[in-house]
Amino acid sequence: MSAVLARLQPLGRALMLPIAVLPVAGLLLRLGQPDLLDLTFIAAAGNAIFGHLGLLFGIGVAIGLARENHGAAGLAGAVAYLVATEGAKALLAVPPGLGAGLGSDVRAALTSAWRDGQIARLSVPAGIVSGLIAGQLYNRYADIRMPDYLAFFGGRRFVPIAAGLAGLGVALVFGMGFPLLSAGVDMLSRRAVEAGPAGLFAYGALNRLLIVTGLHHILNNIAWFILGDFGGATGDLKRFFAGDPAAGAFMSGFFPVMMFGLPAACLAMYRAAHASQRRAVGGMLLSLGATSFLTGVTEPIEFSFMFLAPALYALHAILTGLSMALMDALGVRLGFGFSAGLFDYLLSFGLATRPLMLLPVGAAYALVYYAAFSWCIRRFDLKTPGRDPADDVSATIDADSDADMALPVAARFAAALGGPGNLSAIDACTTRLRLRVADQALVDEAALRRLGARGVFRPGGDALQVVIGPTADRLAGEIRQIAAETAPAEMPDAPLDARTVPVPLPAGLRSAIDAHALAAWLRPLTTADITARDTRLVLECAGPVDDLLARPEAMAELHRLGIRGATMAGGSLHLIVGPGAGDLAARLAPMIRG
């Protein structure tokens, strides 16, 4: 099961990149409507994004899956999508009566329009499949070497070529299998409609329960971009903005929860906090509540109690499902381009059905959430923010050294994650860092929470997720840059022992090396002279120090002393200090001997 989750989670993350363009599409489409600015070119610009979502998914998913999110994978995704869709169109069996009795030019135009319309129904699935193929091809072949006479087509240039060839296979599947695929989508749409309130309840509850794995994005994409058909627009979200009065059932129920319920939960946590800590946690909870109310981004709130009180989170999932069914029963149809926040509510107001019903339903949900959270927190003494003395924000801030507080936030996050050398993969989705770490034991959860992380989740193996909030993607980029800048540029010439322990130090954490403190730390380890080799100090050790280097506290002390890295090689201890190693060795030698 964990292996399946590990394979699906990158897809959930990758799907967020193309979805991120939907707010501007919805904004342009609405502003251009006659009831607002009545500017057709703005409406057409917004509709162009909705009309090419398949291509955007092909590009976005490929980039999201590729190592380093490289743009070459996006080009490969576009190539695979275009080859797949255009090839599939040519394979479609045209109804024999289409254009009968009309001129050849008219018949050709009708045939082309029919083929375009049919493939458009499956454009998003085709884009996702194309992106998956292109991303995997990039990860496998981006470094491929070709013979000298074909060297120009090697490396990353090979990936779009391979993606184009793979797109032919997708074209065969979508073209020749179109009747079966189309019937499957139609059946799925009918089943969703026939399921009625029970189906909407299940969707809403599962949407919240799957957040912990990140797989809710896959569920959302089926509902928002595939189910139903209205004039060629497929999916609840696309149909809503295309003017389908029946669309919005898979979006409306989120508004009472995100705009009213979870902000009320934040108020309940604030009121339940100890008086001495209310001021410290008040700003944080206000920020979380406002983010949910305005934008519909809820994960930072949800992770603050998801693991602390699973039963309370289960209640939250049930209430979300009930909200979906309730809003449908009341005939409310609301939509969004990004999420169920105030901004999207106001933007889609003119297209909505009975939008004012959100106010009484939202008020009721605010009361339910506030009462439920207040009772559960006090009844079961849940350690929500501000209720655990160990989490006293003022105390943790005082505990941080002045030097640490002066460091960039990304550098402090990198240190809390075990240092850049502990991070083998650094990615992010909407609100969380998605990481792969070499050693889970080096991750300091308490330090991450002091830095503002709202939750830490370990899906299994080397995977690690840290809930940050809307700034997660920017933070991931900064940590990635630190890791790139501090990758060990040089390692010892001698073969490394099996227990080599590299300890790279982020640029933001480097400090001037205190020779006296370093000499005191090294004196018990060696009685021989210390020498320098390029950017390293080399010591002959009096005994084995592998066990010492394997201890996190020893590595932390080396970090504090300003050492960039440490490793054992050929029985010698190598300390990476950077330029000036020779001068430092000359200063340390008499101190160690003395």
Asked, for residue 241, whether it belongs to a domain, the answer is no
Q: What are phi and psi of 470, to 5 degrees?
A: -65, -15
212 vs 228: CA distance, rounded Å = 28
Domain boundary, last residue among 348, 367, 393:
393
Give yes or no: residues 231 and 290 share one domain.
Answer: no
Q: Do residues 123 and 37 both lie within one domain?
A: yes
Q: Look at residue 493 in the predicted model and tell me its pLDDT.
A: 40
Query: Which residues make Cβ contacts (< 8 Å) with residue 176, sequence separation at least 6?
Result: 91
**Which pair of tokens denotes residue 310?**
């699973």
Give a yes or no: residue 495 inside a domain.
Answer: no
Residue at 498 is within a domain? no
Structural domain count of the chain: 4
Name every residue whose Cβ is closer than 8 Å to that of residue 461 and which is 6 or more positions away in sequence. Answer: 2, 6
Task: DSSP for 429-466, please give it.
Answer: -SSEEEEEES-GGG--HHHHHHTT--EEEEEETTEEEE
Name the β-bridge partners of 465: 434, 457
Residues carrying an active site annotation: 429
Mean pLDDT throughout 509-528?
Answer: 68
Q: Are residues 114 and 143 in the same domain?
A: yes
Q: Are residue 451 and residue 482 in the same domain, yes or no?
A: yes
Domain range for 589: 515-593
pLDDT of residue 232: 84
CA distance linking residue 245 with residue 273, whole number of Å: 45
Instruction: Find where tokens 């990149």 sit.
Output: 17
| pLDDT interval class at 449 (50, 70, 90) | confident
Q: In this structure, how many other beta carbons lie within 10 angstroms of the beta carbon of residue 285?
A: 24
Q: Is residue 403 part of a domain?
A: no
Going by C-beta distance under 8 Å and a sequence separation of 6 or more, which residues neighbour residue 263? 289, 290, 292, 293, 366
Residues 344 and 455 in one domain: no
Q: Among 345, 364, 393, which residue terminates a domain?
A: 393
- 473 and 555 share a domain? no
**Residue 140 reports pLDDT greater than 70:** yes
Co-location of 271 and 369 in the same domain: yes
Is residue 244 in some structural domain?
no
**Which CATH number does the domain housing residue 466 bear?**
3.30.1360.60
Predicted local confidence at residue 535, as pLDDT: 67
Return the H-helix or E-strand segment holding 220: helix 216-225
Q: Give residue 130's identity as a one-letter amino acid code.
A: S
CA distance 447 to 238: 42
So what's the pLDDT on residue 546? Answer: 62
Is the residue at 491 inside a domain? no
Please give the model's pTM, rounded to 2 decimal places: 0.69
Domain identity same for 85 and 34: yes
pLDDT, tens digit, 9 for 90 and up, residues 17-32: 888 888 888 889 888 9
455 with 371, same domain? no
Q: Which of 370, 393, 416 is the last residue of a domain?
A: 393
Task: Tell me the two tokens of residue 535.
Answer: 């950017």
Indicate if 186 and 223 belong to the same structural domain.
yes
Shared domain for 117 and 16, answered yes or no, is yes
Note the pLDDT of residue 405. 45
Give Cβ neighbours of residue 395 (< 8 Å, ≥ 6 apart). Answer: none
Residue 544 token pair: 């084995």
- Is residue 292 in some structural domain? yes
Checking if the pLDDT of 547 tops 90, the result is no
Q: What is the pLDDT of residues 159-218, one digit of tens each?
A: 999 999 999 999 999 999 999 998 988 888 888 878 889 999 999 999 999 887 777 888
- 475 within domain boundaries: yes
Cα(223)–Cα(156) distance, integer angstroms: 35
Q: pLDDT-derived band of residue 61, with 50, 70 and 90 as boundaries?
A: very high
- pLDDT at position 62 is 95
Q: Is 569 helix (H, G, I), strand (E, B) or coil?
A: strand
Q: Is the pLDDT of residue 568 over 80?
A: no
| Residues 370 and 431 occupy one common structural domain | no
